Amino acid sequence: MNGADGLEYVGFWLRVWATLIDTFLVTAIVFPIMMAVFGRDQLASGITIEGPAYYLIWYVLPAIAVIAFWNTKHATPGKMVFGAKIVDAQTGGSPSFKQHIVRYLGYFLSTFFFGLGFLWVAFDRKKQGWHDKLAGTVVVRPMKGHAEPVRFG
């Protein structure tokens, strides 16, 4: 096994904080778009909004943004705050575009069983959620504490 000197796996709580940052950013971008498309009155009415524009704005646009960040920066803005990045679990190199797609789709599986796929990060030796395991990725950052060092291969 190859050691990755100076890297550690990113654990559950840092990943929770990164997700909260990302959720805030996505909402700050998506909500004004929703206001522009549907109007304040319709959003405030409590009527369920559906249709192609809704799904495009709330689901497709964020998916494209997240995968674009993963593909170019190997992290979302929330992960970047903590110096974390997503890498291939075997090589430590950049994940492929296919791995990014599988990882994103794996989020749905990780959510499906009461979020157990995300909670898995807290107990896994390599801090992988189900989406990471499916995609063959790990989330790492420069060593900050006494965490287990990263090993690839």
Task: Give how many domains the chain has, as a whole number.
Answer: 1
Say what the pLDDT of residue 48 is.
65
Reference 10, options 124, 95, 152, 134; nearest CA is 124
Confidence of residue 146 (pLDDT cuts 50, 70, 90): low
Residue 1 pLDDT grade (very low, low, confident, very high; cuts 50, 70, 90): very low
Task: Identify the pLDDT of residue 4.
Answer: 65
pLDDT score of 77 more than 50? yes
Residue 152, pLDDT score: 84
1-5, 29-33, 83-87, 91-95: least confidently modelled range: 1-5
Q: 106 lies in a domain?
A: yes
Query: Which pTM does this prediction carry?
Result: 0.85
- Give domain status of residue 3, yes or no: no
Q: Per the structure block, which two tokens stand in for 152? A: 């690839």
Given this model, what pLDDT does residue 54 score? 83
Asked if residue 2 belongs to a domain, the reply is: no
Neighbouring residues of 112: CB distance < 8 A, sequence distance ≥ 6? none
In a domain, 5, yes or no: no
Q: How far apart are CA 11 and CA 17, in angstroms?
A: 10
Structure-derived torsion over alpha carbons of residues 24, 26, 27, 30, reported in degrees to the nearest 10: 160
Query: Is 29 within the bounds of a domain?
Result: yes
**In-domain check, residue 131:** yes
- Proportion of the chain above pLDDT 70, given as a percent: 90
